[in-house]
Amino acid sequence: LSSDGSISYTIATQEGGTQFKEGNATQTFGYNGSYLGPIIRIRKGQNVHLTTVNKLEENTSFHWHGLKIPSNVDGGPHSPIKPNGTATVDFTVMQEAATLWFHPHPEGRTGEQVYNGLAGLIYVEDENSDSLDLPKDYGINDFPIIVQDRFFDEDNQFNYQDIQNMDGTQGDTLLVNGTINPYIEVKNEKIRLRLVNGSNARNYQFNLSSKESFYQIASDGGFLNEPVQMDTLQLVPGERAEIVVDVSDYKKGDNVKLMNGNAEVLSINVVEGINPEIKSLPETLNKISTSFNSVSVPDKELTFSGMGNMVAINGKQFDMERIDLQAKTGTTEIWEINNSNDMMGGMIHPFHLHGVQFKVLDRNGKVPPANEQGWKDTIALYPGEKVQIEVEFPEKGIFMYHCHILEHEDNGMMGQIIVE
Ligand code: C2O
Ligand code: CU
Ligand code: CU
């Protein structure tokens, strides 16, 4: 942090060994460490300088997933950083308070680099997040929860090259923040979990082992207008949600588990009794204008189709030299995104758009669920679904949109829009 309030970070991609389990260390990638990376904390209105040093033996890039940002600093496939190369970006934060994440985006190599460990969180704060009476003590009642699945071979290696699946690489072991069988120790109060689906391809259905409900307070791009009571929360790859789990009535020694269906993700262990300070959640968290006016003739239509190496958007595979769509800054557009479900069984494609936060207007002719009525940058597209979104680009340049199953993205389920 410098005297003018601007903030500088230096991030190095590096190889390392990570001791996930007994026996051999796993060969991994990390930012400033052997696996995952630090939390980058920035504020709305702040000037940010970030230097990425690439200590890998291959190209990488630094992508700010979810940040409203000019395209020259967005870190997509047009901005490779060579081995031993360095890249610096400068920008002013336009984004309101939110939990975002960063990961590499090199052409054709995103899946492998993320799987090997390159990802981290971005916390954006602003006056609203300062003033809201929410749990915000890092590691005490406010926790980053990056959920990933990995497969370990008999030597404890990831071996992405051998196990990768063109329709999404999944593993049989769940990790939270790079830890197997994770737990957190808390007081009996309200606990905020900033959930990030950092998996290449797995969809999660989060619930609590107690079958109690919890409150979702934020979606991808910031706070929801009000807390939304939930029993289950789905997150597709790339999606985030902040939830509050209330263990105020629990006693020392009690625990509740965050589950994915029937599988344990995280144990929340109450180790200390107190008189909780936050009695109830704020009724109003944000002031996002909501109107769900879908249209019969959208400004743009995107159709996701195919599987494996046949994945395509509007029948085309990614070509760095081809611009697929055009838009103007300051113009609100309505896009319809379809999952054509043209193969037996079909797949959920998580749709993601760079450089913006958008609103979901309509899911198959219906108003979106309450927890999707806030800012989004990634949404589930079920087989056969039609979703309309409202989007406005704040910045000029070239931005990517793609399926966030990282192997689909690497296989060409990606396009680019030029904003003028
Ligand atoms: Cu999370 Cu284009 O990426
Ligand atoms: Cu992104
Ligand atoms: Cu896909």
Q: What is the DSSP string of 4-61?
A: TS-EEEEEEEEEEEE--SSSSPEEEEEESSSSB-PPEEEETT-EEEEEEEE-SSS-B-
276 Cβ partners below 8 Å, 6+ apart?
Answer: 187, 188, 189, 190, 248
Tell me, using a 6 A CB cutoff, whether residue 150 lines ligand 1.
Answer: no
Do residue 220 and residue 307 come from a single domain?
Answer: no
- What pLDDT is attached to residue 344? 65
Atom of ligand 1 nearest to the CA of 101: 1
Question: Residue 387 sits in which domain range?
Answer: 300-419
Question: Is the model's pLDDT at 80 over the cut of 80?
Answer: yes
Question: Is the model's pLDDT at 304 over the cut of 70?
Answer: yes
- Model confidence at 279, pLDDT cuts 50, 70, 90, reads confident
- What pLDDT is attached to residue 168? 97
Do residue 117 and residue 50 come from a single domain?
Answer: yes
Atom of ligand 1 nearest to the CA of 238: 1
Do residue 305 and residue 368 come from a single domain?
Answer: yes
Q: Any idea what the Cα angle at residue 402 is, between residues 401 and 407, rounded to 5°?
A: 155
Ligand closest to Cα of 238 equals 1
Tell me, using a 6 A CB cutoff, whether residue 352 lines ligand 1.
Answer: yes
Tell me, using a 6 A CB cutoff, whether residue 63 lines ligand 1.
Answer: yes
In a domain, 371, yes or no: yes
Question: Is the model's pLDDT at 326 over the cut of 80?
Answer: yes
Q: Any idea which of 38-52, 61-75, 314-328, 340-354 has the lowest mean pLDDT?
A: 340-354
Which residues are 390's β-sheet partners? Answer: 334, 359
Do residue 257 and residue 149 come from a single domain?
Answer: yes
Tell me, using a 6 A CB cutoff, whether residue 376 lines ligand 1.
Answer: no
What backbone torsions phi and psi does residue 160 show, to the nearest 5 degrees?
-55, -40
In a domain, 284, yes or no: no
Ligand closest to Cα of 339 equals 3
134 close to 103: Cβ distance less than 8 angstroms:
no
- What pLDDT is attached to residue 341? 77
Question: Is the model's pLDDT at 116 over the cut of 80?
Answer: yes
Ligand closest to Cα of 381 equals 3
Whether the complex's predicted ipTM is more than 0.95 is answered with: yes
Atom of ligand 1 nearest to the CA of 409: 2
194 close to 70: Cβ distance less than 8 angstroms:
no
Distance of CA 65 from the midpoint of ligand 2 (Å): 4
- What pLDDT is attached to residue 343? 59
- What pLDDT is attached to residue 2? 80
Tell me, using a 6 A CB cutoff, whether residue 65 lines ligand 1.
Answer: yes
Do residue 115 and residue 146 come from a single domain?
Answer: no
189 close to 244: Cβ distance less than 8 angstroms:
no
pLDDT per residue as tens digits for the range 122-140 = 999 999 999 999 999 999 9
More confident residue, 206 or 294: 206
Distance of CA 413 from the midpoint of ligand 3 (Å): 7
If one counts the domains in the chain, the total is 3
Nearest protein CA to atom 1 of ligand 1, as residue = 65
Ligand closest to Cα of 196 equals 1
Q: Residue 148 and residue 103: Cα distance in Å, rounded?
A: 13
377: left (phi over 0), alpha (psi -120 to 50) or beta: alpha
Do residue 56 and residue 153 come from a single domain?
Answer: no
Q: Which two tokens stand for residue 379?
A: 């949404």
Domain boundary among 236, 253, 272: 272
Do residue 162 and residue 246 come from a single domain?
Answer: yes
Do residue 325 and residue 380 come from a single domain?
Answer: yes
Domain boundary among 94, 129, 164: 129
Ligand closest to Cα of 64 equals 2
Distance of CA 378 from the midpoint of ligand 1 (Å): 9
Average pLDDT (14-25) is 98
Do residue 255 and residue 363 come from a single domain?
Answer: no
Tell me, using a 6 A CB cutoff, whether residue 105 lines ligand 1.
Answer: yes
What percentage of the chain carries pLDDT values higher than 90? 95
Tell me, using a 6 A CB cutoff, whether residue 240 lines ligand 1.
Answer: no
Domain boundary among 106, 129, 152: 129
295 Cβ partners below 8 Å, 6+ apart?
Answer: 334, 388
Q: Report the CATH number at residue 193.
A: 2.60.40.420
Which residues are 218's β-sheet partners? Answer: 223, 242
Do residue 107 and residue 176 come from a single domain?
Answer: no
Distance of CA 115 from the midpoint of ligand 2 (Å): 16
pLDDT per residue as tens digits for the range 166-223 = 999 999 999 999 999 999 999 999 999 999 999 999 999 999 999 999 999 999 999 9
Tell me, using a 6 A CB cutoff, whether residue 134 lines ligand 1.
Answer: no
| N-terminal to C-terminal alpha carbon distance within the chain | 33
- Using a CB cutoff of 5 Å, list residues around ligand 2, an ion: 65, 354
Do residue 52 and residue 94 come from a single domain?
Answer: yes
**332-339 and 300-305: which strand pairing?**
parallel
In a domain, 137, yes or no: no
Single out the residue of 160, 71, 69 nearest to residue 110, CA to CA. 160
Atom of ligand 1 nearest to the CA of 66: 1
Atom of ligand 1 nearest to the CA of 65: 1
Tell me, using a 6 A CB cutoff, whether residue 408 lines ligand 1.
Answer: no
Distance of CA 356 from the midpoint of ligand 3 (Å): 20
Question: Is the model's pLDDT at 278 over the cut of 90?
Answer: no
In a domain, 331, yes or no: yes
Distance of CA 283 from the midpoint of ligand 1 (Å): 32
Do residue 215 and residue 268 come from a single domain?
Answer: yes
Distance of CA 298 from the midpoint of ligand 2 (Å): 23
Q: Residue 288 and residue 128: Cα distance in Å, rounded?
A: 13
